[in-house]
Amino acid sequence: MESLASGNSAEYAEFAVLKMVNAIAAFVDSNHKRLDDVYRWEFRVETVPFGLQVPNGTSRAKTIALKKILHERWLVSDFQDKQRIIQWFISEWGGIRTNDRQTIAAYADASPQDLIDRGVTGIASWSKALCIYDPERYAIFDARVA
């Protein structure tokens, strides 16, 4: 703590991130049982690409399963199928229909770091793509969940 007072910005940043993570963890821990009541994001399961099956359940459970199912398909897909997955998830599931083909192709072809390096521009779209890359590591960020 003494080094934080002396102005070590790297240590202060690490301290601030740790404090934020702990605050988020405490909030989730105290509210996670309410998530099924407050999280409502309906989507048409019959439109999921490749006829992939999403199990019945709450909106939250279906969304978690969907991301896992799409991720598993992503891992074995060629570039064209990856574009189809990204297009569907961003446009149909996410409701963002403003991305052109080149943008979707870029999202399907970029590394996670390349997507992150885009910054806030397009974050509502590229964070959805990132979520399909690895739903255990990356979260969706847009105005509805920020």
Q: What is the pLDDT of residue 2?
A: 46
Q: Where are the domains of the chain?
A: 2-37, 41-133
Calculate ∠ Cα 24-28-29, nearest 5°.
115
Below-50 pLDDT ranges, the chain: 1-4
Q: What is the pLDDT of residue 3?
A: 47
pTM reported for the whole predicted model:
0.78
Q: What is the pLDDT of residue 92?
A: 95
